[in-house]
Amino acid sequence: MSHSPFPISIPRQRRGSAILLLLLSVLLLLAACTQPGEVAVASSGDAPIRVVTTIGMITDVARNVGGEHVEVTGLMGAGVDPHLYKATESDVNRLLNAQIIFYNGLFLESRMEDVFAQIAESKPAIAVGEAVPVAERLASPQYAEHFDPHIWMDVKNWQMVAEKIRDELIAFDPAHEADYRSNTAAYLAQLQELEAWVQEQVKTVPEQQRLLVTAHDAFHYFAKGYDFSVYAPQGISTESEAGVEDIRRTIDIVVEQNIPAIFVESSVPPDVVEAIVEGARARGHEIRIGGSLFSDAMGEDGTPEGTYIGMIRHNVGTITSALRGE
């Protein structure tokens, strides 16, 4: 496991979100005043449950599990970096209007934690990442007392998340329990198939070549689940930037270990990875950018990579073919 060279403290950006939080408090109060007697437990009638989610991976699971009984609004689309994302005014309105909120937690959406904490007082706001048992979570290499939030990189974790979302929807809307169970069983079967495919693909890369170098540290669960090593000059959150020394150290590693390819990420600017490629080439090591991986955001809606399963297939296909030297 790599360790970030930047043991920095967490910028909480409290001041920036203070006004939004105040707005939220007022709106919550108004909502409470104008809807006396309405309880959070739904759903009479067959109007779909209004679900709001953060990252696309969670949006996708919630749609698969909830099926026709939910209307899911995802706040973060393709290319959006959840580490840096702040709730906009229209997000706050969506959150207020939601009946259930699913977010990753484990400090992924670090700038929305206060908003979720406040919302959780009036409706279910669930950190689905907590479905992964503590013993199986990885420590953040960067922030003491935090876990690495990038749990979706191991399909086995995402199966637990699907079950968590199923259980929360059943608790909220017991009338449709049978549907939630059958939707989830069907989706889990697809995830099981995906897991088997990933296991098969990673075996095609010789063991000594299983080193994944990316800009930021999103792939530790992938490494743990599929027997890779990872190295990232930028650390686990994109809030810290890679410095000259981090880049030089990464160049040493790719040259010494004769790594044929490193990877950019769809939600992180490519300049750090480009600098590593340039530096390694200047030392006579032939290396290329092996492709773009989806780390903290999925692809565009309507493309295969705009689904969790398609995103994982893309990443694994890209990583394994580039590291085999193809």
Binding residues for Zn ion, rule: CB under 5 A, are 218, 296
* Least distance CB 191 / Zn ion (angstroms): 21
* Least distance CB 148 / Zn ion (angstroms): 9
* Least distance CB 149 / Zn ion (angstroms): 7
**Which amino acid is it at 253?**
I
* Least distance CB 216 / Zn ion (angstroms): 6
Element containing residue 310 per DSSP (H, E) = helix 308-323
Toward Zn ion, which CB reaches closer, 155 or 218? 218
DSSP character at residue 10 = P
Toward Zn ion, which CB reaches closer, 24 or 218? 218
Residue 59 and residue 64: Cα distance in Å, rounded? 9
**Which amino acid is it at 8?**
I
* Least distance CB 267 / Zn ion (angstroms): 8
* Least distance CB 230 / Zn ion (angstroms): 12
Residue 214 and residue 157: Cα distance in Å, rounded? 21
Toward Zn ion, which CB reaches closer, 64 or 214? 214
Toward Zn ion, which CB reaches closer, 110 or 250? 110
**∠ at Cα 95 (89, 98), nearest 5°?**
145
Pair 111, 17: CB distance under 8 Å: yes
Toward Zn ion, which CB reaches closer, 70 or 132? 132
Residue 229 and residue 267: Cα distance in Å, rounded? 21
Toward Zn ion, which CB reaches closer, 146 or 181? 146
* Least distance CB 294 / Zn ion (angstroms): 11
Residue 235 and residue 5: Cα distance in Å, rounded? 7
**CA dihedral sign, ordered 248, 249, 250, 255:** positive
**Which amino acid is it at 183?**
N
Toward Zn ion, which CB reaches closer, 5 or 67? 5
Q: What is the dihedral of CA 244, 250, 251, 252, to 10 degrees?
A: 110
Any alpha helices (H) in 120-232, and if so which ranges? 155-172, 177-202, 220-226
Distant-in-sequence, close-in-space partners of 122: CB < 8 Å, separation ≥ 6: 28, 31, 32, 40
